[in-house]
Amino acid sequence: MQTKLIIGMGGDPTYDLLEKINSPADLKNLNDEELILLCDQLREFIIDVVSHHPGHLGASLGVVELTVALHHIFNTPYDKVVWDVGHQAYAHKILTGRREAFKTNRMYNGISGFPKMSESPYDSFGVGHSSTSISAALGMAVASEMAGELDRQHIAIIGDGSMTAGMAFEALNHAGVSKSNLLVILNDNGIAIDENVGALKEYLTDITTSKTYNKIKDEVWNMLGAFPRGVVQKVENAIKLTLIRHSNLFESLNFRYFGPVDGHDVSRLTKVLKDLKNIPGPKLLHVITVKGKGFLRAEKEQTKYHAPGYFDKRTGDIIESHCGKDRPPKFQTVFGRTILELAEMNPKIIGITPAMPSGCSLNIMMAKMPKRAFDVGIAEQHAVTFSAGLAVQGFIPFCNVYSSFMQRAYDQIIHDVVLQKLHVVLCLDRAGLVGEDGATHHGAYDLAFLRCIPDIIIASPMNEEDLRNLMFTAQSENYGPIAIRYPKGEGVMVNWKTPFQKIEIGKGRKLKDGNDLAIISIGPVGNNVAKAIEKLEKENLSIAHYDLLFAKPLDNDLLHEVFSKFKKVITIEDGTINGGVGSAVLEFMADNNYHASLKRLGIPDKFIEQGTNKELHKECGYDVDGIIKASLEILK
């Protein structure tokens, strides 16, 4: 069933049917025609709300029919539906009692942009990182089996991009021998945020483009109600063995494979899902969808409309938050332009990212040097060890992974890179609080989890010029493993492209002298410190400001200067207080027998939810006003 395009519609949308759906129970008695109408209204509603309450658009538009079919057929929340990543869960949230709350999606004190167990019983498992759905659903299926709940269904919806991660295949390997009641729905749209890569993509293309196979497969599906299932399975197996190259990928793991099925034909999907409910054991349904379905611009420009920000719902035009050339660039843009500039100077530099070329701006280098820049798919562990292999052979890999995603490759950092003292540059994008994506995406822990590793250098630039110079320094000679962390979004410098300067490893800097109080910061949060000091000086207070630049090795000379002069000290970082740079300064103070009143500001010992960074910095107490308040309190 081809869904109509929304662009060009006249008048305001009406949601007369959608407004009657307050829970999945209201879906049960809808006929095919009503289900189609509901899908159209649901798609319009998502576009309407997300156009002025920004979020993840394309992925959710692509699974509208699948979501409606799932809640129409299965008995949720008793039956467990587990979404992977969660970018595509907006329709699910709207149908499960959160239609009115959806306008608060990703907002401070609003609902999360991802499935979250504490938010709704329909959110069977909290997600945000990819490739977890099959493992979680299998665990639930085994638990249900042990509890004697043999009628309970367990469904994992995973994209073909998420399927590239090793964890997904680990789960498939286990599930295939478990014989548990598990349905894996492979949502195949050929794209995650950027276009998918790798051999799995080619394999799935083989299946979806085999016209002979699909014609016969359709005929087999039509026979499901007329022949014994044993006969149908034998026919299916014969088709798979003879018509599709490498056709036994999923069936070799003991999964019954069904599909491919049009993911935008809600009538067909409901029939297929109803049949699959009655087939025991592990099953995989291959569903073909279009990311951004029903919104022409989102279909044509899928990467841009993954999360487009504000846009005009009639034309699809993205509404820029600012115009002109007088704005600082984003840190990731500085990274992307700088690595290309350095790579043109140094033939040993290689760029690596796990499925985030546009997000981290490595796509700039990929366009100019496609043989020296690699998107390895959603596979953070592989990205780090692949970088280690390149380093062994004398290359200088810049491995760019979002801070929260790098948590998934922690063992590889320790075992494959740092233990062997390899010259790998780990670029941790989205470090610190990242705003509306919330707790699953905040880069809160990298300073703490990296600081305890021997022989690693950890740096955090205060501005774009610092990032540029740290990248230049990192490739200039073999310092061993270096991690450079920087935040999401804009910096502070308009004229950031200055001549490269080498930075001395482990050396911080005194930005301002003072007498009453010393503030030690690391990273871009130091700009908040500078603004706070300007206001405090109007109260006749003399505040010194030190920027560490390196979390490891610490600048011991700088810290000796601070504690020799000041008895009142504040540390500030855009990272967890526990185990972070403030803790490192406390350790230095204790180890060197200094005595001072020291207050640490940073992310407190709790998970921080979604909101703008301004709101979240205020909550955590290290916005400008929070720094002023802390300074006045310690000076009392």
Per DSSP, the residues of 527-567 read HHHHHHHHHHHTTT--EEEEE--EEES--HHHHHHHHHH-S
Predicted pLDDT at 323: 45
CA distance 40 to 359: 30
CA distance 505 to 425: 14
Residue owning tokens 């680990």: 170
What is the tens place of the pLDDT at every residue in 392-421? 999 999 999 999 999 999 999 999 999 999
The whole-number average pLDDT for the span 466-480 is 97
User: Could you tell me which CATH class the domain 331-485 is placed in?
Assistant: alpha beta
Q: What is the pTM of this model?
A: 0.90
Contact of 634 with 510, CB cutoff 8 Å: no
CATH of domain 18-189+253-300: 3.40.50.970
Q: What backbone phi and psi angles, to 5 degrees, belong to 353?
A: -145, 145
Contact of 525 with 477, CB cutoff 8 Å: no
The whole-number average pLDDT for the span 126-142 is 96
Binning pLDDT at 50, 70 and 90, where does residue 246 land? Answer: very low
Q: Could you tell me the two tokens for 196?
A: 């998918």
Taking each helix axis from N to C end, the angle separating 581-591 and 556-565, rounded to the nearest 10 degrees, works out to 70
Predicted pLDDT at 231: 54
Structural domain boundaries in the chain:
18-189+253-300, 331-485, 509-635
CA distance 361 to 348: 19
Predicted pLDDT at 212: 46
CA distance 381 to 387: 10
What are the Cα distances from residue 518, in Å, to 385, 439, 527, 562?
41, 31, 15, 7
Task: Round the average pLDDT of the chain to a whole number and report it.
Answer: 91
Binning pLDDT at 50, 70 and 90, where does residue 460 land? Answer: very high
509-635 fold? Rossmann fold (3.40.50)
Q: Do domains 331-485 and 509-635 have the same CATH topology?
A: yes
Closest CA to 380 of 397, 358, 400, 360: 400
CA distance 287 to 456: 45
- Beta carbons within 8 Å of 292's beta carbon, 6+ residues apart: 57, 58, 61, 62, 298, 299, 300, 302, 305
What is the tens place of the pLDDT at every residue in 490-520? 899 999 999 999 999 999 999 999 999 999 9
CA torsion sign for 355, 358, 362, 366 is: positive
- Beta carbons within 8 Å of 463's beta carbon, 6+ residues apart: 491, 492, 493, 496, 524, 527
Q: Which of 302-311, 473-482, 572-581 has the lowest mean pLDDT?
A: 302-311
Binning pLDDT at 50, 70 and 90, where does residue 230 land? Answer: low
Taking each helix axis from N to C end, the angle separating 133-146 and 166-178, rounded to the nearest 10 degrees, works out to 20
Percentage of residues of the chain with pLDDT beyond 90: 82
Binning pLDDT at 50, 70 and 90, where does residue 8 land? Answer: very low
What are the Cα distances from residue 585, in Å, to 521, 551, 563?
11, 10, 10
Q: Which residues are catalytic?
A: 291, 380, 408
Predicted pLDDT at 354: 95
CA distance 238 to 248: 11
Predicted pLDDT at 209: 58
What is the tens place of the pLDDT at every residue in 296-323? 999 999 888 998 999 998 888 988 765 4
CA distance 428 to 418: 16
Q: Is 612 exposed, middle or buried (0-12, 13-18, 19+ CB in 10 A)?
A: middle
